[in-house]
Amino acid sequence: MAQSVTTMLKDGQDYMKTWPLRKELYALFPDCRVVAATRFAIKVMPPVAVLACASTINVLGSEHIPQAIAMGAFFLSMPMQGLLWLGHRSNQTLPPAIQSWYQDILSKMRDQGCAVQHSKGKPRYRELANVLKMAFEDLDKAFTRNWF
């Protein structure tokens, strides 16, 4: 299933908004660190790109404009790399171990009376992010502590 770059960037933005950044999840999933780094890069890299271009042209002169543009493009591409990784990750199916954990969370949430969707045959990381976000928002801390 090939996706276009724009679709992957959009999926990455949606996944970044959905994935819960909780301390309990940092040890289990690399997604937390990638989301945090991508958010940081979105805020910081545009000014760094401008600063790198301006300082290169200021110090080395106008004959180094191509190198300045290349450095600026490199810094501007860093947030996009994070979004592409997140977009690709959101569409991957869950491995069997995480899939059984996902099913367990869904059944416990249904037992607690939460309105959750029916599980798909092969859930993806996107569905896991939605369920985890709902679990951390709707359920109390004593109930979610048992999962971690």
* pTM of the predicted model as reported, rounded to 2 decimal places: 0.85
Q: Is the pLDDT of residue 144 over 80?
A: no
What pLDDT does 145 receive?
A: 59
| SS3 (DSSP) at 21 | coil
Question: How would you label 27-58 residue by residue, b for 16+ Cβ within 10 Å and e otherwise?
Answer: eebebbebbeebeebbeebeebbeebbeebbe
What pLDDT does 143 receive?
A: 57
> Taking a C-beta distance cutoff of 8 angstroms, is the pair 9, 84 a contact?
yes
105 confidence band (pLDDT: 50, 70, 90): confident
Q: Is the pLDDT of residue 114 over 90?
A: no
pLDDT digits (tens, 9 = 90+) for 3-55: 799 999 999 999 999 999 988 889 889 999 999 999 999 999 999 999 999 99
Domain boundaries of the chain, sorted by first residue: 1-91, 93-148
